[in-house]
Amino acid sequence: MSFEERLKIKALLETGHSQKDIAQLLNRSASTISREFNRNIAKRGRGSGHYCAESAQRKTVQRHKNKPKAIKLTDELKCKIKKLIVHDRLSPELISGRAKLEKVEMVSHETIYKFIWTSKHGNKRSGKAYKTLHKFLKHYGRRRKRGNVYENRARILNRIPISQRPDHINLRKRFGHAEMDIVLGKNRKPGILIIQDRKSRKTWLKKLSTKMLNT
């Protein structure tokens, strides 16, 4: 919303117009005007309960200044992502989740996936170094050997395979169905449990103790 519109809102309020009237006159939705009032009407002090266009504009400018800047996928980040996928065998979700936990700069897991598949199908020279990254994703291709033997992992008793998962879960129509994964720390250091809701994509992170990893 522009400063000019805010001045009009102030003038219309002073002449007795309702929120609905203001929305129609400014060709804005009622929810937009309501949000503007909720954010910018003074709640304390001398101006309590009143709308001030100048104050509303200052608050908006300040909010934009405080808003986190979007992280760009630089060449440096691309190299880092490649190392984490190829050498550390981390999924895009784990890369993004661990970066949040450690408070280091990283793009979202959606951006990482987009980068991987764009590199696979692209023809640019700059993308050749990343053209085979998709092969290192967790669910790509057949099971790989580590050295000369398959990894001998503990199996969950009476587990239900993903192929038998109900359609309403696959279609992500309900909240509360989550996916979990664990990234192990190096040299038996504490790992990270990552839980992600399938519908909302909201992610929770929990640092695990070494004792928990041993069990």
- Strand ranges (DSSP E) for 55-116? none
Give the integer Cα–Cα distance in Å for 126 and 115.
Answer: 12
**pTM of the predicted model as reported, rounded to 2 decimal places:** 0.40
Position 149 in a domain: no
Looking at the structure, do residues 166 and 131 belong to the same domain, yes or no? no
CA distances from 109 to 32, 95, 201, 203 (A): 31, 7, 11, 11
Looking at the structure, do residues 80 and 124 belong to the same domain, yes or no? yes
Q: Which domain holds residue 20?
A: 3-66
Q: Please classify residue 147 by burial: count the beta carbons closer than 10 Å to its beta carbon, then call 0-12 exposed, 13-18 middle and 19+ buried.
A: exposed
Position 146 in a domain: no
Which of 13-17, 29-33, 38-42, 211-215 has the least mean pLDDT? 211-215
Q: Which two tokens stand for residue 68?
A: 């986190």
Domains held by the chain: number: 3
Query: Which of 9-13, 120-124, 168-172, 178-182 is most confident?
Result: 9-13
Position 87 in a domain: yes
Looking at the structure, do residues 7 and 45 belong to the same domain, yes or no? yes
pLDDT at residue 160, as a whole number:
65
Looking at the structure, do residues 80 and 123 belong to the same domain, yes or no? yes
Residue 91 near residue 181 (C-beta atoms within 8 A):
yes
Mean pLDDT rounded to a whole number for the chain: 79
Does residue 213 register a pLDDT over 50? no
Among candidate residues 161, 201, 155, the one with its CA nearest the CA of residue 178: 201
- Give the chain's length: 215
Give the integer Cα–Cα distance in Å for 117 and 101.
Answer: 26
Give the integer Cα–Cα distance in Å for 45 and 6.
Answer: 21
- Rg of the chain over all Cα atoms, to the nearest angstrom: 25
- pLDDT tier at 113 (50, 70, 90 boundaries)? very high
Question: Of the residues 22, 39, 66, which one is the last residue of a structural domain?
Answer: 66
pLDDT at residue 204, as a whole number:
79
Give the integer Cα–Cα distance in Å for 151 and 171.
Answer: 32
Residue 194 near residue 97 (C-beta atoms within 8 A):
yes
Looking at the structure, do residues 32 and 82 belong to the same domain, yes or no? no
Coil vs helix vs strand at 178:
strand
